Amino acid sequence: MTAGQPEGVPFVWSFEGSRPGPHLMIAGLTHGNEPAGRDAVLRLVEKSVRPLAGRLTLALVNPAAAALGRRFVDRDMNRLWRDDWLDEDSSSVEAARARELRPLLRQVDVVLDLHTTTFVARPFFVIADLAKTRALADRMAWPPTQQLMPGGCVDGRHLTDYGRFSDPGHPAVAVTVECGTHDAAASAGVALEAARRFLDVVQGRVPARPNASIERFRTKEPCIALTDRFVLRIPSTGFVAVRQGEVVAMDGGRPVEAPGDLVIVSPRPDPRAGQTAFLWCERC
């Protein structure tokens, strides 16, 4: 087994198995204000967790933002993963870091990106609505809540949307797990549990078991705030079911009514005009 920094990329560690196999990657700190993923990744680095086969790469994606205690330095590191966007951005810290990581992301076969949320305490998957991502989330079976994103992220390109990961015909697959809220003490443990489960299932250490409690929510569209005075009228805990016509928020004094029997996911605290306030999803 060898460990080290592939191609000298800082904050990336790689461990080789004793025989050929897939290249797995576990990432944290794609958002600098989400320490749970960092803690899980560093714990695995400390323990020199080696893959049964192939290669395991552990990465802290945006340590520069974390050093400042911020979500990002110049632009959201989880909204920029398209080659033409990366090539044309010569100024942001995040695009430079993404270009540094890009060769690695073009090689890896299976990725788990660990995140946390502002509000939503329950852990859940965020995945592109593709057969291969649904299959991986189903095989892991935990967390049992899955948020499906048809076409990928609604306002940019996630790390897990990059390149081959969005190609339904290519086997490379990447999923995100939201591990609880940013500041909850439990979130780091959830992130480590998600990482262990990922390694166990992908490497076939444990059989994939059907989980009857899996719930899937398909994203329909974002609810965009029209004013800087957008106030939710429902709990901000995420995955809140609402009925058609129910007033779910006030936007500058205007009621926002549910356009159907839907579920509200990923509420954003204090959205500004033009920002996504939350996502309308439907159970599927």
Site residues (vs Zn ion, CB under 5 A): 31, 115
At residue 77, φ and ψ (nearest 5 deg) are -70, -10
Nearest distance in Å: CB 123, Zn ion: 13
Nearest distance in Å: CB 196, Zn ion: 20
Nearest distance in Å: CB 55, Zn ion: 25
Of the pair 155, 167, the CB lying nearest Zn ion is at 155
Tell me if 72 sits within 8 A of 81, measured CB to CB: no
Tell me if 72 sits within 8 A of 66, measured CB to CB: no
Amino acid at 240: V
Dist CA 22 CA 101 (whole Å): 18
For residue 167, how far is the Cα from the chain centroid? 18
Reading the block at residue 279, the tokens are 């996502």
Of the pair 33, 107, the CB lying nearest Zn ion is at 33
Nearest distance in Å: CB 257, Zn ion: 29
Is 160 exposed, middle or buried (CB count within 10 Å of its CB: 0-12, 13-18, 19+)? buried
Of the pair 31, 55, the CB lying nearest Zn ion is at 31
Of the pair 17, 35, the CB lying nearest Zn ion is at 35
Nearest distance in Å: CB 31, Zn ion: 4
Of the pair 28, 54, the CB lying nearest Zn ion is at 28
Tell me if 15 sits within 8 A of 26, measured CB to CB: no
